[in-house]
Amino acid sequence: MTAPMSLFSMPATCIQDGDRSWTCAAVFDWTHNSDLAHAASWLIGKPLSIVWLLVIGVVSRWMLHKVIDRLVARASDGVLPAKLARGPFADPAGNTTTHRRVQRAVTMGSLLKSIVTSVVFVIVGFMAIAKFGYNIAPLIASAGIIGLALGFGAQSLVKDFLSGIFMIFEDQYGVGDSVNLGDATGTVEAVSLRVTRVRDVDGTVWYVRNGEIVRVGNQSQNWSRSVLDIAVGYKEDITRVRSLLKEVAHELADDEHYRDRIIEEPEVWGVQSLGPDAVVVRVTLKTMPQQQWMVAREMRERVKTRFDAEGIAMPMPQRVTWTDPAAPS
């Protein structure tokens, strides 16, 4: 087996034409035909070089993503108060996967992966262009001018990128949050520089451009609250109703299945409104993030069962009919 050819042993025909690939040199060494050597370089050498660049780019991207995953895993480790460190999503060691630190770390990881992918393949693209013999120095030098032109011609794209960066660094929402973005409401599945992916309760996936998000309602940042308006009839004793609601709420908070979901003592705020058919009494329970709906459903079931046992009737529609005694029958 012959040793690899160096530039010093490369044929003059390859050097003169600026084709210093090993394919040109090897084919010329075998055939002593410059046309075949250049044809082999274009048909075999350059495609193989580009494929090799793509393989290097993919492997580099994979390795950098692995590094980002490790950084995200390390950033996700944090010490929370004992009450917040427990929950239905906690592992045996007591680490929760829904607290704010994890969500922000995952979101930052998603952003870094997006940036790494863009940078790696831009570099691979420049190197592939250079393999065809083009001088990429003017292209790199004109990157500022191209960027300026893109800034004016693609203002919406730049707006999406800037909005995405500020949303992430300001911690407006993260992966796993339940958000209301106006037209789209659901759980955030992914956040990139350009779009936010949200899945609603029906399973529909919404792709919302970051630059189009005017307001964000985050329903799961740090903690949530179950708010229940319980309607009872006007004939019921409101003091007794409030006492029963307080008992039911405390029983729920002490239940072993819901103790980790409710983080503060439940409160009965009192009469919320007086309607035409019912008196509405409001009960609130402060919960772990995204647990308010489950707690509210269980609370409603228990209130219904307790009211039935205590003989408290739910309100019925009432109508008053006026008759004129002087009118003919």
Q: What are 198-231's pLDDT values in tens digits?
A: 998 888 999 998 888 888 888 877 788 899 999 9
Distance separating alpha carbons of residues 117 and 119, to the nearest angstrom: 6
Distance separating alpha carbons of residues 9 and 29, to the nearest angstrom: 10
What integer pLDDT is reported at residue 45 of this predicted model?
56
Distance separating alpha carbons of residues 185 and 227, to the nearest angstrom: 19
What integer pLDDT is reported at residue 148 of this predicted model?
61
Angle (CA) 239-245-246 rounded to 5° is 90
What integer pLDDT is reported at residue 300 of this predicted model?
93
Residues found in the chain:
329
Distance separating alpha carbons of residues 158 and 101, to the nearest angstrom: 28
Q: What are 80-128's pLDDT values in tens digits?
A: 444 444 443 343 334 334 456 676 677 777 778 878 888 888 888 878 7
Token output for 278 = 């019912």
- What DSSP string runs through 81-114? -TTTT-STT--TTS--SSSHHHHHHHHHHHHHHH
Report, as ranges of residue numbers, the positions in the chain whose pLDDT lies below 50: 1-8, 10, 12-13, 15-19, 22, 78-98
What integer pLDDT is reported at residue 124 of this predicted model?
83
Distance separating alpha carbons of residues 55 and 58, to the nearest angstrom: 5
Pairing of strands 224-232, 279-287: antiparallel
Distances (CA, A) of 202 to 126, 178, 216: 44, 14, 20
The answer to whether 285 and 225 have CB atoms below 8 angstroms apart is yes
Query: Could you tell me the residue ranges of all domains in the chain?
Result: 1-141, 224-310
Residues 6 or more apart whose CB falls under 8 angstroms from that of 204 comprise 186
Show the DSSP H helices in the chain as ranges: 12-16, 22-31, 34-40, 46-76, 100-131, 137-141, 143-153, 155-169, 238-254, 292-310
Q: Assign residue 217 a region: left if phi > 0, alpha if psi is -120 to 50, beta otherwise?
A: beta
Name beta bridge partners: 267.
284
Residues 6 or more apart whose CB falls under 8 angstroms from that of 68 comprise 109, 112, 113, 116
Token output for 305 = 């069962």
Architecture of domain 224-310: 2-Layer Sandwich (3.30)
